[in-house]
Chains A and B, each alone.
Chain A
């Protein structure tokens, strides 16, 4: 290497996702020498999420977000559908306020990383980090193949697969019950057809959560988000339970086939018809952020942000990952700046990052919804409740001559969907208290 090329930076950020990019942006803007190392070809090429981002936490980093970011549509409608075979019960809510938008994370991560690069951070892409180097209990830098780069602080934003943290001993091997698998198709429906069929105005978006037998008895659900002119359609499946179902033979279809079943479902497919599938992808997400959180989010010379830190809220009906990632990147950057301005990235100084995380809305939310993943694993909610609802409505509406009273229908549907009413009420209470 020639003498011009540095081998030391103030901060090295591993991963150009939302968490890494926001930390890099704020640190570079504050004048620090920042290197972002990303394994993908440019930022965003390894990114996949559902489709919806909550805007307000992002505005604390980029106040001009609404004007500049690649926002596809603002979510103005939320739908939940309970699916049992061909019967579908749907609840739709028209929001009074715009809080979340849809986008491609591939575009969003690129936008965020460009912001960091425009502020002076250096992005090295196509490079995999193999190791976080520790000397005398202090993180000294990173290694990639034969090359090492020193840094005062390393920001680990490696994502849900914690290869580096596991090597470092800061995180344990992932257990199947801690994660869910997301699979997603992007359907090229076209703007006009989408707006007409979903009754959307220009720039307005729909988020749709589907629960019931779209996941073939596995805890999880289906999702659909409207992008600018495409639809993101996907499934999230609890991995531990999916593994059990595959072992017992209860799982009759492969995971990609489950998603194809949803795409070709007689009710839902009315929206996109035979529109072309542009892309298919998969990514893991977290079930229960607190259980996924490493023992510590810092050590001398290191902070952990985003998915790697378990900072993702999964309530079953909604997943908030990108805004948590960005906000954790912001808290990390603020702590690092303070540390570098005082006596360095010591244990005591970086502990403040974890303290800030614990004082933030993220931690409060994660604590409040703690255990929701356990409840959501209960078949009561993702198969029996949807079945019951649909049987109830079938009793009320699918009659030729005689209609039952609502009470008769309710009691029948409870019986037919194999639900104990008292248990159901108890469980409903435990869910509502955690949602």
Chain B
């Protein structure tokens, strides 16, 4: 099985601070990390490889500094990293990004071997659109299942994907190749291992492809290929929150107390009544 997993090299948003004097984000010196929501996708990919053999290839569209992120996932057991990198990819919205990634997957299928599954995280912490999985599936014309928590191969070479919604556990069987997006925190990622990290350092299994390698039209990539317009950015000031600590002996008292607190707020009570009992 050949599994592609898409990752994004994102600024560590915990460390991005807001300068109230100038109204801008302070991003200087903020280190980047692999998007935390990509880890369930990486873990799912590695589990599929553990079960059925084959290889896992991590793909990212990013500047060369993302090599560090690819090395991190190689350290978890991913076999190869593909860095889709070109100045002409800069400023991309999700449409232009998913286009480049889809073309990268096509190139992998052609040159390295046919891809069976492409797995993405639910969304990124720096833009939270949750578009990429669906858009890549559209570009490739592959079936798409999201909110996935698990997947396994079943009869006829189909992939059975388990997903959990608020009210049910659902199972979908899709023909391969397919695109899957995992739910947030769906699977706990495995740690980086010494032997895998060492292999990555010595074999350097990271390949960089630029716009010519992919044979793309620059009008479809980067800022030029991005129809999204950022109209305005506003700062929502922090709402000071009240902290109450209540430590009853009996947990049932705690439950009653929480309900009482929640229903004491009119808007919360209204929401809860509607959500729980369908009352208006």
- Considering the chains assembled together, what is the distance between the CA atoms of A98 and B197 in angstroms? 42
A6 at the interface (CB under 8 A from B): yes
- Considering the chains assembled together, what is the distance between the CA atoms of A146 and B195 in angstroms? 9
A237 at the interface (CB under 8 A from B): no
Contact A5 B193 (CB under 8 A): no
Chain B residues within an 8 Å CB radius of A304? none
Interface residues of B in 174-212 (CB under 8 A from A): 191-195, 197-199, 201-203
- Considering the chains assembled together, what is the distance between the CA atoms of A125 and B72 in angstroms? 9
Q: Which residue of B lies closest to A149 (CB)?
A: B194
Interface readout for A267-285 with B: 1 if CB under 8 Å, 0 if not?
Answer: 0000000000010000000
Contact B75 A122 (CB under 8 A): no
Q: Which residue of B lies closest to A42 (CB)?
A: B68
Contact A2 B197 (CB under 8 A): no
Interface residues of B in 19-52 (CB under 8 A from A): 29, 31
Chain A residues within an 8 Å CB radius of B198? 5-6, 35, 122, 124, 149
- Considering the chains assembled together, what is the distance between the CA atoms of A1 and B200 in angstroms? 10
- Considering the chains assembled together, what is the distance between the CA atoms of A290 and B99 in angstroms? 63
**Closest Cβ of chain B: how far from A8's Cβ, in Å?**
11
Contact B199 A1 (CB under 8 A): yes
Contact A5 B199 (CB under 8 A): yes
Contact B193 A127 (CB under 8 A): yes
Chain B residues within an 8 Å CB radius of A144? 193-194
Chain B residues within an 8 Å CB radius of A2? 199, 203
B193 is contacted by which of A6, A42, A146 (Cβ under 8 Å)?
A146
Contact A124 B203 (CB under 8 A): no
Contact B75 A126 (CB under 8 A): yes
The tally of residues in B whose CB lies under 8 Å from a CB in A reads 16
Contact B191 A124 (CB under 8 A): no
Contact B192 A123 (CB under 8 A): no
Interface readout for A108-148 with B: 1 if CB under 8 Å, 0 if not?
Answer: 00000000000000111111000000000000000011110
Interface residues of A in 139-185 (CB under 8 A from B): 144-147, 149
Tell whether A122 pairs with B201 under 8 Å between CB atoms, given A42-B68, A127-B75: yes
Contact B203 A5 (CB under 8 A): yes
- Considering the chains assembled together, what is the distance between the CA atoms of A180 and B75 in angstroms? 35
A293 at the interface (CB under 8 A from B): no
Chain B residues within an 8 Å CB radius of A35? 198
A248 at the interface (CB under 8 A from B): no
Q: Which residue of B lies closest to A130 (CB)?
A: B194
Tell whether A145 pairs with B191 under 8 Å between CB atoms, given A127-B75, A127-B197: yes
Contact A6 B202 (CB under 8 A): yes
Q: Which residue of A lies closest to B199 (CB)?
A: A5
Chain B residues within an 8 Å CB radius of A146? 193
Chain B residues within an 8 Å CB radius of A125? 197
- Considering the chains assembled together, what is the distance between the CA atoms of A4 and B49 in angstroms? 21
Chain A residues within an 8 Å CB radius of B201? 122-124
**Closest Cβ of chain A: how far from B34's Cβ, in Å?**
11
Q: Which residue of A lies closest to B72 (CB)?
A: A126
Which of B191, B192, B195, B203 is the most central at the interface, judged by chain A CB atoms within 10 Å of its CB? B195
The tally of residues in A whose CB lies under 8 Å from a CB in B reads 22
Interface residues of A, dominant DSSP:
loop
Chain B residues within an 8 Å CB radius of A123? 201
- Considering the chains assembled together, what is the distance between the CA atoms of A144 and B192 in angstroms? 10
Which of A2, A42, A124, A125 is the most central at the interface, judged by chain B CB atoms within 10 Å of its CB? A124
Contact B192 A126 (CB under 8 A): yes
**Closest Cβ of chain A: how far from B17's Cβ, in Å?**
9
Chain A residues within an 8 Å CB radius of B197? 124-127
- Considering the chains assembled together, what is the distance between the CA atoms of A144 and B198 in angstroms? 12
Contact B75 A147 (CB under 8 A): no
Tell whether A147 pairs with B194 under 8 Å between CB atoms, given A42-B68, A126-B75, A127-B75: yes
- Considering the chains assembled together, what is the distance between the CA atoms of A6 and B202 in angstroms? 9
A236 at the interface (CB under 8 A from B): no
Interface readout for A1-27 with B: 1 if CB under 8 Å, 0 if not?
Answer: 110111100000000000000000000
A37 at the interface (CB under 8 A from B): yes
Chain B residues within an 8 Å CB radius of A42? 68
Q: Which residue of A lies closest to B29 (CB)?
A: A278
Chain A residues within an 8 Å CB radius of B68? 41-42
Which of A5, A35, A37, A146 is the most central at the interface, judged by chain B CB atoms within 10 Å of its CB? A5
**Closest Cβ of chain A: how far from B192's Cβ, in Å?**
5
Q: Which residue of A lies closest to B17 (CB)?
A: A276
- Considering the chains assembled together, what is the distance between the CA atoms of A122 and B203 in angstroms? 12
Contact B202 A4 (CB under 8 A): yes
Chain A residues within an 8 Å CB radius of B191? 145
- Considering the chains assembled together, what is the distance between the CA atoms of A1 and B197 in angstroms? 11
A147 is contacted by which of B29, B72, B193 (Cβ under 8 Å)?
B193
Interface residues of A in 174-215 (CB under 8 A from B): none
Contact A147 B202 (CB under 8 A): no
- Considering the chains assembled together, what is the distance between the CA atoms of A10 and B25 in angstroms? 47
- Considering the chains assembled together, what is the distance between the CA atoms of A278 and B29 in angstroms? 10
- Considering the chains assembled together, what is the distance between the CA atoms of A144 and B29 in angstroms? 31
- Considering the chains assembled together, what is the distance between the CA atoms of A7 and B31 in angstroms? 31
- Considering the chains assembled together, what is the distance between the CA atoms of A2 and B202 in angstroms? 11
Chain B residues within an 8 Å CB radius of A1? 195, 199
A5 is contacted by which of B72, B192, B202 (Cβ under 8 Å)?
B202
- Considering the chains assembled together, what is the distance between the CA atoms of A147 and B198 in angstroms? 11
Chain A residues within an 8 Å CB radius of B194? 37, 124, 127, 144-145, 147, 149
**Closest Cβ of chain A: how far from B187's Cβ, in Å?**
19
**Closest Cβ of chain B: how far from A224's Cβ, in Å?**
21
Chain B residues within an 8 Å CB radius of A147? 193-195
Chain B residues within an 8 Å CB radius of A126? 72, 75, 192, 197
- Considering the chains assembled together, what is the distance between the CA atoms of A60 and B25 in angstroms? 44
Interfacial residues, chain B to chain A (CB-CB below 8 A): 29, 31, 68, 72, 75, 191-195, 197-199, 201-203
The 3 closest A-B pairs by CB, nearest first: A144-B194, A147-B194, A147-B195
- Beyond the given A122-B198, A144-B194, please list 11 additional residue pairs across the A-B interface where CB-CB is below 8 A: A2-B199, A7-B195, A35-B198, A37-B194, A42-B68, A124-B194, A126-B75, A127-B194, A146-B193, A147-B193, A149-B198
- Please, could you name 28 A-B residue pairs with CB atoms under 8 Å apart, sorted by A? A2-B203, A4-B199, A4-B202, A5-B198, A5-B203, A37-B194, A41-B31, A41-B68, A41-B72, A42-B68, A122-B198, A122-B201, A122-B202, A124-B194, A124-B197, A125-B197, A126-B75, A126-B192, A126-B197, A127-B75, A127-B192, A127-B194, A144-B193, A144-B194, A146-B193, A147-B193, A147-B194, A278-B29
